[in-house]
Amino acid sequence: MNSQQLHLRIHQMLPAWVQEWLDIIVPALQIVAIVAVALLLQRALRRLIRRAGQHYHWPLELMVPINGVLRWIILGSAVLLVLERLGVSATVLWTAFTGFAAVGAVAFFAAWSVLSNLFCALLIFTVGPFRLGDYIEVLDTAEKPGAKGRVVDINLLYTTLEDYDGGQDHPALLQIPNTLMFQRVVRRWRGGPPPPRPQPIVVAEPHASASPPAETPPPLAASSRSPSAV
């Protein structure tokens, strides 16, 4: 007995009022089952990622986008299955998917600068060229000085440096895009601030209008005559 015959036999065994609602009850139960499985799968994957992050010491900035991507994948798959249960044909779903994919590709190239910063942020978190608290200097070349400071924050778009030369009273923050960290030379110091840069010695030149020092008159010569006797 195949599944179609079994379905027909069960359909004949049910009461008449149930047979009228059977075309609505079965898709509704399938939709409820799809949503329940999607929620359970999302919760299980989120718990698995949290345990992996605690075990491998992943930063929070890395776990948030991973959870977001998995959530949207599960949600999109559940929506497609629900639409299929509601009678939407696979051709319509594929056409809609390709249309959304084309729009997504255009948006991807339009927002490439932002997405490249996100990808470089993931590389910074995983590869670890520098960490919070390190003193770094971003150079165009190894000979020219560049932006230098202590790393105080790393987010998905920028790396924030506390300017080392800004002074303690008025500290300045430098926000550098993450893509520049892989396009420039990065000099790194661990454990403490870098040595201060030597200041050029300025030799003061004598003023042109200064008058020459006055000559002191020579001392008077002592008289050779002895004082007259009284």
Give the model confidence (pLDDT) of 31-70 as tens digits: 999 999 999 999 999 999 888 888 877 777 678 778 888 8
The answer for residues whose C-beta is within 8 angstroms of residue 39's C-beta and 6 or more apart is: none
Give the rounded percent of residues in the chain with a pLDDT score beyond 90.
7
Q: Are residues 125 and 74 in contact, defined by beta-carbon separation less than 8 angstroms?
A: no
- Residue-level pLDDT at 6: 61
CA distances from 175 to 89, 164, 181, 192 (A): 50, 14, 12, 21
Whether the pLDDT of residue 131 is over 80: the answer is: yes
pLDDT of residue 44: 93
User: Distance between CA 227 and CA 135 in Å, rounded?
Assistant: 86
pLDDT in tens, 90-105: 677 778 778 887 887 7
Could you tell me which residues are beta bridge partners of residue 188?
Answer: 136
CA 195/CA 79 separation, integer angstroms: 59
CA atoms within 13 A on the CB side of 118: 9
Q: Where in the chain are the domains?
A: 14-88, 90-194
- Per CATH, the number for 90-194 is 2.30.30.60
Given this model, what pLDDT does residue 228 score? 47
Angle between helices 112-127 and 90-110 (to 10 degrees): 80
Q: Is the pLDDT of residue 219 over 70?
A: no
Burial group, residue 11, by CB count within 10 angstroms (0-12, 13-18, 19+): exposed
Cβ atoms of residues 72 and 43 within 8 Å = no
- Please give the sequence-ordered ranges of beta strands (E in DSSP) within the chain, or none if there are none: 135-139, 147-154, 158-163, 173-177, 185-189
Model confidence pLDDT, tens digit, residues 182-197: 888 888 887 677 666 6
Q: Mean pLDDT score of the chain, rounded to an integer?
A: 76
Instruction: Give dist(CA 12, CA 9) in Å, integer.
Output: 5
